[in-house]
A and B are shown apart, each in its own frame.
Chain A
Amino acid sequence: GDSVTQMEGPVTLSEEAFLTINCTYTATGYPSLFWYVQYPGEGLQLLLKATKADDKGSNKGFEATYRKETTSFHLEKGSVQVSDSAVYFCALPPFGTDKLIFGTGTRLQVFP
């Protein structure tokens, strides 16, 4: 069945460092792909999405490119801030459904 695999966390970085959080997927067809972020004590919120192969989603300095060749959707940011500390989830809708399946989440900790 469809699935999402994320790198284990926590990822610990200093402010202004480069960030990569890996996400790979298994899916029927070419679903839309999503990154959600969860700040402490809050619900998840959409960070960015891509709806077809080679699309790049971007928001708040974060980017992710839909790579069907490698079935990946890695999240990147060139210079992280302390305020980016959160848990990041990769997600996709299984074929023919309206729900999302989420990865296990990757915790990012950014220190000054």
Chain B
Amino acid sequence: DAGVIQSPRHEVTEMGQEVTLRCKPISGHNSLFWYRQTMMRGLELLIYFNNNVPIDDSGMPEDRFSAKMPNASFSTLKIQPSEPRDSAVYFCASRIILAAAEQFFGPGTRLTVL
């Protein structure tokens, strides 16, 4: 079974450039989460969607970050313009909306902003 798919796996870009991270959740899952992980701040929830609708975006750092989920099988996280402090591993996770259902994580995208 295919798990959560993220692309690219690694991204190196220069400050000021636009970055788009992509996620394909597990088929049949109707809840999707974007996380950021750094040594300094640990694992942070940025935003999550239920049935393609954003439910909680309180973790989005600032207006430079935006996320969309145009359909049940695809989501993007965009950073524009990118800054060196955005360097981190970004994870996407999905689950079924059901009590005690686990989240399944993708392998992550390692972003480096020079």
Binary per-residue interface labels of chain B (90-112) against chain A in the complex, 1 for a CB within 8 Å, 0 otherwise: 01010101011011111110000
Which residues from 3 to 59 on chain B have a C-beta closer than 8 Å to any C-beta of chain A? 4, 31, 33, 42-43, 45, 48, 50, 55-56
CB-defined contacts of A97 to chain B, threshold 8 Å:
56
In the bound complex, residues from chain A placing their C-beta under 8 Å from that of B108 are 42-43
Secondary structure call for the B interface:
strand
Among A18-26, A44-52, A69-77, which stretch is in contact with chain B?
Answer: A44-52
- Cα distance A17–B43 in the bound complex, in angstroms: 28
Q: Mark B40-84, 1 if CB is under 8 A from A, else 0.
A: 001101001010000110000000000000000000000000000
- The answer to whether residues A44 and B56 also contact, given A49-B102, A99-B45 and a CB cut-off of 8 A, is no
Interface size class of chain A, counting residues whose CB lies under 8 Å from the partner chain: 10 to 19
- Candidates A42, A46, A89, A102; contact of B102 at CB < 8 Å: A46
Question: Can you report 23 A-B residue pairs in the complex whose CB atoms are below 8 A from each other?
Answer: A32-B100, A42-B108, A43-B4, A43-B91, A43-B107, A43-B108, A44-B91, A44-B93, A44-B105, A45-B105, A46-B103, A49-B100, A49-B102, A51-B99, A51-B100, A97-B56, A98-B31, A98-B95, A98-B97, A99-B48, A100-B45, A100-B103, A105-B42
